[in-house]
Chains A and B, each alone.
Chain A
Amino acid sequence: MGMTLAEKILAAHAGLDQVHPGQFVEVDVDIVLANDITAPIAIREFEKLGVTRVFDPDRVVLVADHFVPNKDILSAEQCVQMRQFARAQGLAHYFDVGRMGIEHVLLPEQGLVVPGDVVVGADSHTCTYGALGAFATGMGSTDIAVAMATGRIWMRVPETIRIVYHGTLRPWVGGKDLILYTIGQIGVNGANYKAIEFAGPTIDALSMDGRFTMANMAIEAGAKAGLFAVDETTRAYVEGRARRPYRVYPPDRDANYAQIIQIDVSDLEPQVAFPHLPSNIRPVSQAGEVPVDQVVIGSCTNGRLEDLRVAAEILRGRRVHPAVRCIIIPGSQQVYLDSLREGLIEVFLTAGAAVSTPTCGPCLGGHMGVLAAGERAVSTTNRNFRGRMGHPESQVYLAGPAVAAAAAVAGQIIHPDHL
């Protein structure tokens, strides 16, 4: 029987010729990941296992990104735990302030994840690496503790939904709009327990950064993983970065899909997710008048160079609206440096935006842009749950970098063409 991309990668890592949805398999993992808020629990559970060493110090990656630079004493102590563990275990890939990035921007950029990998991370947005043709999925800290110790993890082989996109994208429409629209169509649990395979002519023409954004938000539809087949775009990105040789697994033509969804995106407008679910989608033209107090551009969803270029294109020669705080967060030190060299940082500062060192900070209401009661934010992040960015009575509207930058200028949600 033909296999989907997810099934092929899992079969290869389980040492089996064939796997089928619903089957429980134990797979070898290529990379195990945790961050400053999930690692402390993982380390605590790891120690209960009675194991002294991680399975491979080159394959356990720890990144301080959520509450760094440390927002308070407790966060600082969590980072100390992680730092000490990394040193004691001799981990090759521990990333601290000044060298770090938001984990899901950082790992692909540094060539730590390559096509065909199985990656498990104690962060739900680990699914981002599906853009590289890897099977990557988020888990809790206890699972990560076991993976750190054994290099293996159990999984239920997911069914796969294939989503095929047709048509050429209009100006200001990108990966974020494709994935928001898709979540609006299938719902926040439309792919629960399943993998999504993104495909079609629109995807073939989509940049890597756009693909990372889409794979990143597969979890917002409940998916275990969101995958893209490897093509020339992937190879060009991986070239010169990959730290390990990699394998490419194409899905079989006769693979068995739980569902195949065809979407024509020729007429798709920029999309906005209204509070309090990522599936609460409206095209920007139907957003109505939504005044905005804060705009955040960044995160593991939209903190890459291409996202900042789009934002700069809109902010160049314009001013952030007097009623708005616009916070721009490059996703990694490298993205920051590239933005600086391209002159983007100057554009942002001239426009009246704040530029921050890489951090997850405001996305989850941690720091660097927490909202007060009644405040509204347009954010390029991935979740708009109640209280996600601060006070339970605050509101988050999710959008791509173009709509977010336009909202920063206009002081309300607006189509970038209408500035």
Chain B
Amino acid sequence: MIIKGTVWKYGDHIDTDVIIPARYLNLSTPEELARHCMEDIDPHFASAVQKGDIIVAGENFGCGSSREHAPLAIKGAGVSCVVARSFARIFYRNAINIGLPILECPAAVEETEMGHQLEIDLEAGRIRNLITGRVYQAEPYPPFMLQILNAGGLIAYTRQVLAGAGPQRESARSSSPAQARPSAAYRIAVLPGDGIGSEVIAEAEKVLQAVSERFGHQFVLEYGLVGGAAMAATGHPLPAETLALCKSAHAILFGAVGDPRYDDPRSPVRPEQAILGLRKELGLFANLRPVWVHPALADASPVRPDRVDGVDFIIVRELTGGIYFGQPRVEGTEQAVDTMVYTRAEVERIAHVAFQLARKRRRKVSSVDKANVLACSRLWRSVVTEVTREYPDVELEHLLVDAASMHLIRRPRDFDVILTENLFGDILSDEASVLSGSMGMLPSASLGEDSRGLYEPVHGSAPDIAGRSIANPLAAILSVAMLLRHSLHLEEEARAVEIAVATVLEAGYRTPDIAPPGSPTVSTRQMGDRIVDALRSM
């Protein structure tokens, strides 16, 4: 929905008493209330405001009383949207409940003046100042609130929930918001990248589309350039527009980067920097890599089938600390220096991720370090041991990385959650990927403090097979399942995708990377189609 209107600008802490003075609280219809809207600070507003106009204000808009009369008065006055630096909690909730669009966008507030014209794309959260030409991106709504907005407000949303569950208390209890099925526009940034990235992401998109049809969700996919493709177009592997797109999305679906045109490891600008940049800018500190060997694929593993059958663990790798980022770093021909640094806070937050994940699985964490040699590892071990006290129901074992790398091959079934630091995680996750028979089967997630995450297949851009439609799209498709689960909190939908993948594998469909030699194979596109069919027939 596109809104266009003239701006009424106000300052910080516009309270509900000035939005609608209490002396008028003996009125309750939007039309009656609108006649007195803002009158104590701006006597002209109520008479001069035009339908579609936009209120732009500073911090803490709508503070004070809980009166719903305030957003009702604004809505009744014909205001199409309120843009503010921030909103008071109760007003924010009331506005969403009654269907008054509101956006948080400090930058737009800063540069917008009384009388300016704004054009707002509500769905994308984009604000364009038609006088200055500047474009701003507002904070996205949390996915749960989108469900209420898209249902048409809280009453309509609740009617949907009640219709599914009945009005009784007991049945209402069993109907969590996730089980209600109103349409909801989840914004997903799609960055296909280089090589086979765009081929596998095209299949992942088909699967998202099928989920959307099957479960009645609305996914808004917005595309960005990244990696070599972005360098060719803009000179930078992570253009500012792509970054802004990611920041305004609920989740990011990422293909792969790496381009033979820009392959010099000493070059100051390389496609691979895009992923490091995204991790840093989005604060993605936890990398999750599930390793799961489908029984039908046990033969594809180089490890004996009796050892890999039933393997199901997840590696939680710390992503923003350790030797990859520590200073000082000295390049040299006679001597070179890398520095490994970890802080208590860094270890604590990644440990919590691992323990919480374990609680949803088999409740076991294997923390991997090198505490017999490294000081960082000794801090790691002691902090993880402290954190485990908060999870008495989760079993913790400490393993040295050398031993862990052997156990991964000798007894991989014993692992549930493997928690480790950046460098060890990088190595162990590649080792573990071998168990499943193909990198083409392994998804991953990178998560930060909030629910936004980046999801990508573990494999690279594989320029050697690009353009031939032989790449395995299942890693990308399973990344979609992780995206649904971790960022959009759509557990049932995530499971449906995983079940679809299992069903198709059981039916015998294989891309070349997982097919026994000489047996028939399907193309990238055909594999995507089979998954979509499986989802549709569920």
Contacts and interface: CB of A to CB of B under 8 A. Distances in A.
Contacts of B88: 189, 192, 222
Interface in A322-376: 364-366, 370
Q: How many A residues touch the partner, as a band?
A: 35 or more
B67 A38 contact: yes
A62 B64 CA distance: 21
Contact of A387 (B40, B68, B159, B172): B40
Q: Which 3 A-B pairs have the closest CB atoms?
A: A140-B94, A74-B26, A140-B68
A189 B15 CA distance: 12
A49 interface: yes
B66 A151 contact: no
A414 interface: no
Interface stretch (B17-25, B44-52, B306-314, B397-405): B17-25
B463 to A, nearest CB: 40
Given A49-B155, A366-B23, A383 B66 contact: no
Contacts of A383: 15, 17, 64-65
A154 B64 contact: no
A139 B67 CA distance: 8
B25 A67 contact: yes
A160 to B, nearest CB: 14
A1 B162 CA distance: 34
B404 to A, nearest CB: 26
Contacts of A66: 25
Nearest to B393: A17
A193 interface: yes
A171 interface: no
Contact of A124 (B64, B86, B176): B64
Nearest to A3: B390
A28 interface: yes
Contacts of B59: 189
A243 interface: no
A385 B155 contact: no
A386 interface: yes
A406 interface: no
A19 to B, nearest CB: 12
B389 to A, nearest CB: 8
Interface in A374-419: 383, 385-388, 390, 392
Interface string A36-69: 0110110011001111010110000000001100
B167 A150 contact: yes
A37 B72 CA distance: 14
Nearest to A145: B155
B169 A142 contact: no
Interface string A97-117: 000000000000000000000
A181 to B, nearest CB: 19
Contacts of B173: 15, 28, 152
Nearest to B155: A48
B17 A386 contact: yes
Nearest to A393: B40
A388 B169 CA distance: 39
B154 A143 contact: yes
A298 to B, nearest CB: 16
A138 interface: yes
A24 B142 contact: yes
Interface in B121-178: 142, 144, 153-155, 158-159, 162, 167, 169, 172-173, 176-177
Contacts of B40: 386-387, 392
A6 interface: no
A74 B66 contact: no
A78 B26 contact: yes
Interface in A171-214: 188-189, 192-193
Given A152-B173, A193-B89, A365-B21, A385 B94 contact: no
